[in-house]
Amino acid sequence: MNPTAEQLTDWDKRYVWHAFTQMACYEPLIIESAEGCELIDIEGRRLLDGVSSMWCNVHGHRHPKLDQAVKDQLDKVAHVTNLGCSNSTAILLAKRLAEITPGDLNHSFFCSDGASALEVAIKLAFQYWHQCDNPRPKKTTYIGFEDAYHGDTIGTISVGGVDQFNAVFKPLMFPVHRLPIPDRRVPDEASACTYHLRILEESLEKHHEAIAALVIEPLVLGAAGMIVQPPGYLRGVRELTKKYNVLMIADEVAVGLGRTGTMFACQQEEVVPDILCLGKGLSGGYLPMSAAIATTEIWNAYLGEFSEAKQLCHGHTFGGNPLGSAVALATIDLFDEEKTLKQLPPKVARITEHLAKLKKHPHVGDVRQRGMIAAVEIVRDKVTGEHFPWTERHGHQVCQFALKHGVWIRPLGDVLVIMPPLSVSLEQIDQLCEVIGAGIDAVTKGKDASR
């Protein structure tokens, strides 16, 4: 006998511990199935998936080709370890990634999620400096950015900078050289790139002998509030890290796989990092799958006789899982078969049109966009940029309004994220943005914008 909706709701609140959620306040939303860009809950209600099920769904839910890829792989093998063993599907995926990533990013270390890929990258960079041709064992620290988010392991919260998440764990974290968030608006759009690169160079000039790597989300800092970097900044970062002999780790877990309009965000400024991390959309949002992809120079530093103990002593039980690898290969194939990237410009333009309208709202302080990633920031005072008290949860209130009007989104504080699957239609973009606008109207109605 199948459980009732009431039973599932009760059990969800009683037994499931949800991420980043105060369980005493949690109100369940239970999804039973999905189709295309829509989620279907246990009551049969259809909801537009406005944030790609946490930024990971690429080609839509229940895509026939992706479903079939999983089914076909199940007829072969569901899982084998990659510790001293391999499987043909993971091998094909590694080869395909070497072919489509920029430069000589030819060597994939497979993991289960974005945080674990970043954790690998952090360790790869550290160990590299101990055993490369010109060892620099004093390179033991990193450059990270304020409000950056790279995951929730001890290593990734250390290089990350979200104090709200990390404060209680400070005693466990290692020190990092922390730079201001490279916001295109600071100090102003005309000088932002030069300003932030100067700050970076000052830090590198002073500390480069101790810095193993810089960790950055290219073009857009996601959980920081979808903060868009100034044009040219990423390219400048790559030039400076090379100048000062520091590795560059590009966290494309959220911004990779077409989100910014190109397959990889780094390609927009012709940057090749030393290590590229992928996750979320790598499997189309179907299965846990991520990768830390290193250049041949990094790879070579780990080669040697067994007695030299140069291997990376790190691994995951489900790294290189055949099911995840199969759907990842199919996801990449779909970019070619459906010409996904070529379909994006009209969608990007439609989002831009809606953002221009939303920007005029008296309680919208800023709108941001890079490709299919966009955000709307709610403020109390448009002139000063003053926010509402965070405890009032205006962003959450807008999301609750949207839920009642057929759209599922999740905020970053009072920043509303617009990040639907790349397969979204123009009509669905209209629905998503119009509901957000109506939600802001409803939540801020009667509040003095000049306060």
| Binding-site entries for pyridoxal 5'-phosphate | 114-115, 251, 316-317
Annotated binding site: 114-115, 149, 251, 280, 315-317, 410
In the numeric block, which tokens belong to residue 1?
């006998």
H-assigned helices in 147-244:
154-159, 163-166, 192-207, 233-243
The answer to whether 101 and 94 are in contact (CB under 8 A) is no
Residue 73: exposure state from Cβ atoms within 10 A (0-12, 13-18, ≥19): buried
Count of other CB atoms within 10 angstroms of residue 23:
10
Q: What are phi and psi of 142, to 5 degrees?
A: -140, 160
Report how far residue 227's alpha carbon sits from residue 350's, in angstroms, rounded to the nearest whole number.
20
Sole residue written with tokens 């209209």: 430
Question: Pairing mode, if any, of strands 411-412 and 415-418?
Answer: antiparallel
DSSP 3-state assignment of 126? Answer: helix
Closest by Cα among 420, 402, 414, 403 to 376: 414
**Distances in Å between the alpha carbon of 10 and those of 2, 26, 27?**
14, 11, 10
DSSP code of 387?
P
Known binding residues for substrate: 149, 280, 315, 410
Contact between residue 285 and residue 57 where contact means Cβ atoms under 8 Å apart: yes
Residue 392 DSSP SS3: helix
Q: Which amino acid is at 116?
A: S
